[in-house]
Structure 1
Amino acid sequence: MKADKISYLPGQPKGVDFDQYSGYITVDAKAGRRLFYYFVESPTNASDKPLVLWLNGGPGCSSMIGAFQELGPFRINSDGKTLYKNPYAWNNAANVLFLESPAGVGFSYSKTPLGYYESGDKETAKGSYTFLVNWLQRFPHYKNRDFFITGESYAGHYVPQLAYTLLAMNKNPDHTTFINLKGIAIGNAWIDDCTGYKGMIDYFWSHALISDETHASLNKNCDYDSGNYSKACEKADGEGSLEMGYIDIYNIYAPLCLPSQSLGKINSVSIKEFDPCSDDYMDSYLNRENVQAALHVKPTNWSKCGEVEWADSPTTVLPIIRQIMASGINVWIYSGDTDGRVPVTSTRYAINLLRIPVQNHWRPWYSKGEVGGYVVGYKGGLTFVTVRGAGHLVPSYQPERALTMFSAFLQGKLPK
C-alpha cells in the first residue's frame, strides 16, 4: 500500500487534500495477468465512507476514462500536460477505485500470451473478483466497508456478473474474504441485445435523426430477437447512417472535436461544458513518461480502448440482474437521455422485460433547483433514473447532476 501511494501527479493543481494510490495487482500468477488500478480516497471522513468500484465498458475500454473524463477528482487541460480540479468528483461522497480490466486494457497486461487469449465475460468477472480479494489484502482497512459496484456501457455486463460472482463467493464457507456488497449502479447499460438494437432505432426516429421510411424499413426487415439481419436490413441501416450525418452518437447534441480545437495551449475550462477533444488530452497525458512513472506503471503505449479478443458474451444479463435483486442488493440503472449508443429507450425496453411492478411512480428529481432527470422505483429494489441533458458518459456532461444522483444511490434513497 505504501509503495503504491502517489506523491504527486504531474501537473496536478494546488490544494489536493486526499490520498491517491495506483499500481498492479496480480490476478493469475501462472498466466502473468496483472491488473492496474487507480484509487482516490475522499478528502473528508474517508474512514467513514464506503468503497466504490468503477468499471468502464467496451469491452476493451479503460476505466481511466472514468477517472480523468468523468467522475474522478481531476480533468485534463487542453495542453495535455496539466490537470484541473473536478468539484463534482464522486470521491466527495465515497472512496473510489478505478480498475482497468481485463488484461490488455489500458495499463493492465499479461506476461504471457495465455493471459490475453482467454478474455471474455466469464474471465473478466473472475479476474475482477480476484483483483478485489487481493486488493483488500493490500488495503485491509477497507475489508469491512460497505461496497458498491458501478460502471457504464458494456459494464452492463461487467457489473452484474461481478456482483453475482461476489455474492456466490460470499456464501462459500471455504472462502475467507467476505465483501459487504450493498448495491450496483450501471449507466447507459448494455444489458440485452434485442432491446438494445430495437431501442436505438426507435430513439433515432423519435429524436428526428432518421426518416419515417427508414424507421419503418428497419422495423420490417431487421429481426432483433434472433439477431439475424437480412440484406434489406443492412441496406436500411446504411440509409439511416447517411440520414443522421456526422454527429457524436454518444451525445447527439454535443459539438464535435475539430482539428483547430485539439492539443495546444490551455483554453478556458468549465467543468460544466465538457470539451469534445478530451480524448486527445487524455491520450497525451497518460502517455507522458513522468505521468506513467508517477502512476507506478511499466512504460506503456496507453490507449483509451484496445482490440481485445472476446470469448463469450451472453445476449442478455437480465436473468443475472434478477438474481442479484433476489439477494436483496439494490440495483440502479441510470441513463443519460441524449445518448444514442445505449439510449434511454433501450434501457426502458430491457427493464420492461423483467415485468416488475412499479412501487414508486415516475416523477422528476432535482439538482440545485432544476430538474435533474426522472426516476421510477420498482418492487424488489430496482431503480431507473434518467439524467437530463447527459450523454453516454453521464458525469462528463452533467457532473453536478451525476453527483446528486450518486449520493442518493449510496444512501439507498431515490433522488429528490
Structure 2
Amino acid sequence: MKYFLFLFLTALVQCVDPQSDEILDWPYYPQYNFKTYNGFVEIQNGKQVIHYIFMESISNADSKPLIIQFGGGPGCSSMAGLISGIGPYVRIWGNDKMELKENPYSLHKLGNVLYLDIPAGVGYSELHDDQYQWSDTNTGLHSYETIKTWLNAFQNYKGREIWISGVSYSGMYIPCTAEVIIKNNLQFPDDQINLKGIMIGNGVLVNDDNFIFKWNREYLIKRNFFDLVTQNVMQISCTKNPKSVSCQRALEREKVVRKNLNPYNVYGYCYGDSSIYHKDVEDYSCIDDGILNNYFNDPMVKQKLGIAEERKWESCNIDVFLNYNRDKNSHTLMKFLFNNGVKILQFSGNADDVISVDYTYASFKLIDDLQLISRKPFANKETQQLAGWIVEYNYLTFYILRGAGHMSPTDQRANAYQMYEDFLSRA
C-alpha cells in the first residue's frame, strides 16, 4: 500500500518545466517586468521533491550570473531571504500583515536568483523516503543533483557563471555542495557546472555547539553585556573548571542577561510572533517568522503558485533540525575550494550572537594555511558613513557589516548590496 501511495504522491508533482512553471501574477507584487517561476525539481527517482522559486534579474538578465540562494537552519526555508532580505520586493517590518515594498538593494539587480528549499522536507519541499538521513554529506550530494536537474530544464543558464549564496547554516550547505560540484566537474569535464564562487553570511564553519557557545559568550563579554566580576569568572574560572560553583553562578547570571536579549541582533528588539500556527506559544520568535508562515499558507498565495491547498508551509522544519546529522565541518573545505578556483566571500553582522564575529574569527584560525593580508574600513558610497570592515585573507574575503545582525542583508540592505556588488565585480 505504501508503494502505491508513493506513486500517487509523485504523480501529482510535475517535473521542472520553464513554460508551465512561469508565474505571471506574483502574489502581492505590483507590476513587474522580469520573469518569475515557481515549481518543483524531482530527484532520487521522485523520493525527493525540491521546491524552487526563480526570478530573473531586474535588468539585463541575459548577461547576469545565476545566483543560487540556500536557507539556513538546518531545516529553514530560503524564502525568508526572498521576502525579508534580498528579493525585489520585501516585507515592511513591524507590521502584523504582509505588506511588500520595492527593495532598491535587491540582489536581483546583480543576478538571476534561484531559491532552493533544501534539504527535502523544508518549506514546500517533500520527502517520500522513510529511510532517508538528513546530513551535510547528503545535502551536498542532493543539492548537486537538484542544481543539475534544474539546469537541464533551464538550458539558457546551463553554462552561466554560478554563485551559491546563503546565510547561517548555509555555511555548511554551500561548501558541501561546492565540494561535490568540483569533484563531479573533474570526473565529467564535458558536463560541468560553471561554479564561480560562494557567498556565505553569518555562517557555520565549525559544526560544534560547544565551540559556538564558547565564542558567542566571548562576544558578549567583550561588549560588556556582563558585569566585570562575571566577565572575569567566565574567562578564568569557567575556562579552568567549568563545574566550579563560581562558574555555575556566572552562567546563571548569563541566563538572566540572555532571557530578554535578541540573539539575532543584540542591539535590536524582539518583534514577537504573529504566526497563525504559533499563537499559543509565548516568545516563540524574536524575528517574527509568523509573517512568512501566514504568507505561504495563504490560500490565495498557494493558488497563484500552484501549490496544493493542504500543503503546510513552515519557515523552519523542526523535524529536520532535530534529526539532522552534522557530519562535516566546512572550515576544512576552504583550502580545497580555493585551490579549485572557487572565490569565497564570508561576511558577518557585528550585532549577531547566533553566529558571532568572534566565533567566525576563531573558526578562521582553524583553516589550514589561512593567512591574513589586510584589514581596512569601508564607507557606504551613498552616505559616506562607516559601513564596516574588509578583511582580506589568502583564501577568502571577509566583510564585517556594521550594525547588522544574523540576517545581515535584511538589517543593512544598502551596505550588504554594496558588499555583493564590490565582491562580484572584482572576483
Unpaired stretches in structure 1, ≥5 consecutive residues: 265-275
Distance 1:89 1:134, change over 3 A: same
* 2:218 is aligned with 1:202: yes
1:29 counterpart residue number: 45
Answer yes or no: is 1:100 the counterpart of 2:130.
no
Deviations, residues 274-304 of structure 1 (Å, cap 9, x unaligned): xx76523222111101211222323322111
* Matches of 1:63 and 1:325, distance apart in 2: 25
Q: Does 1:301 pair with 2:312? A: yes
How far, CA to CA, are the matches of 2:119 and 2:166 in structure 1? 14
Deviation of the 1:251 alpha carbon:
0.2
Measure, in 1, the Cα distance between the counterparts of 2:151 and 2:251.
47
- 1:76-124 Cα deviation digits (max 9, x unpaired): 353635432222110011111111111111111123433xx41111111
Q: Distance in 1 between matches of 2:111 and 2:91?
A: 22
Whether the 8 Å contact between 1:25 and 1:131 is mirrored in structure 2 is yes
3-state SS, counterpart of residue 75 of structure 2: coil
2 CA distance for matches of 1:97 and 1:392?
22
Structure 2 distance, partners of 1:231, 1:311, is: 33
Counterpart of 1:267 in structure 2 is none
Matched, 1:331 2:348: no
> Is 1:289 the counterpart of 2:299 in the alignment?
yes
Letter of the 1:292 partner, please give it.
Answer: K
Number of equivalent positions: 391
The answer on 1:126 being equivalent to 2:136 is no
* Superposed counterparts of 1:208-357, under 5 Å: 208-220=224-236, 230=243, 236-257=250-271, 278-299=288-309, 300-307=311-318, 308=320, 309-314=322-327, 316-354=329-367, 355-357=369-371
- Segment drifting more, 34-43 vs 70-79: 70-79
Q: Distance in 2 between matches of 1:130 and 1:147?
A: 15
Alpha-carbon distance in 2 for matches of 1:153, 1:361:
23
Query: Quick one: distance in 2 between partners of 1:263 and 1:326?
Result: 45
Distance in 1, Cα, partners of 2:72 & 2:102: 24
Q: Structure 1 counterpart of 2:194, which letter?
A: N
Q: 1:391 aligns with which of 372, 397, 405?
A: 405
Q: How far does residue 247 in structure 1 lie from its aligned partner after superposition?
A: 1.8
- Counterpart amino acid of residue 302 in structure 1: W
Does residue 411 of structure 2 align to residue 403 of structure 1?
Answer: no
1:225-256 per-residue CA deviation (whole Å, 9 max, x = no partner) reads xxx97586666434312133412110011122
Which range moves more in the overlay, 119-128 or 346-355? 346-355
- For 1:289, give the aligned amino acid: P
- Quick one: distance in 1 between partners of 2:43 and 2:197? 24
Q: Offset of 1:315 from its aligned partner?
A: 6.2
In 2, distance between residues paired with 1:132 and 1:187?
Answer: 21
Give, in angstroms, the shift of residue 209 of structure 1.
1.7
Residue type at the aligned position of 1:295: L
Paired with 2:408 and 2:166, the residues of 1 have a C-alpha distance of: 11
Give 2:166's aligned residue. 151
Shift of 1:342: 0.6
CA distance in 1, matches of 2:237, 2:141: 39
State the partner residue of 2:97.
80
Matched residue SS, 1:2: helix
Q: Secondary structure at the match of 1:62?
A: coil
Is 2:201 the partner of 1:187?
Answer: yes
The equivalent of 1:9 in structure 2 is 26
Alpha-carbon contact 2:296-2:302 (below 8 Å) kept:
yes
- 1:371/1:19 CA distance change after superposition, 3 Å: same
How does the TM-score come out when normalised to structure 2? Answer: 0.85
Contact 2:136–2:328 at 8 Å: present in 1 too?
no
Q: Check whether the contact 2:352–2:406 (CA below 8 A) recurs between aligned residues.
A: yes
* Residues 275, 293 of structure 2: 8 Å contact kept: no
Give the SS at the match of 2:414. helix
Amino acid corresponding to residue 371 of structure 2 in structure 1: P
Task: Provide the C-alpha distance between the structure 1 equivalents of 2:249 and 2:76, rounded to a whole number of angstroms.
Answer: 30
1:46 partnered with 2:24: no
Pick closer, same or farther for the CA change 1:176–1:53 going to 2, 3 Å. Answer: same
RMSD, aligned CA = 2.5
1:12–1:82 CA contact under 8 A, matched in 2:
no
Q: In 2 relative to 1, CA 130–234 (structure 1 residues): closer, same or farther, beyond 3 Å?
A: farther
Q: Partner amino acid for 2:166?
A: G
Whole-Å Cα distance in 2 between the matches of residues 362 and 295 of structure 1? 45
Q: Distance in 2 between matches of 1:297 and 1:123?
A: 26
Matched letter for residue 131 of structure 1? T
Higher relative contact order (CA 8 A, sep 6+): 1
For the Cα contact (< 8 Å) 1:221–1:230, is it kept in 2?
no
Which residue number corresponds to residue 282 of structure 2? none
Contact 1:21 1:38 in 2 (8 A): yes
Q: 1:34 to 1:306 in 2, by over 3 A?
A: same
How many Å apart are 1:327 and its aligned residue?
A: 1.2
**Conservation of the 8 A alpha-carbon contact between 1:189 and 1:342:** yes
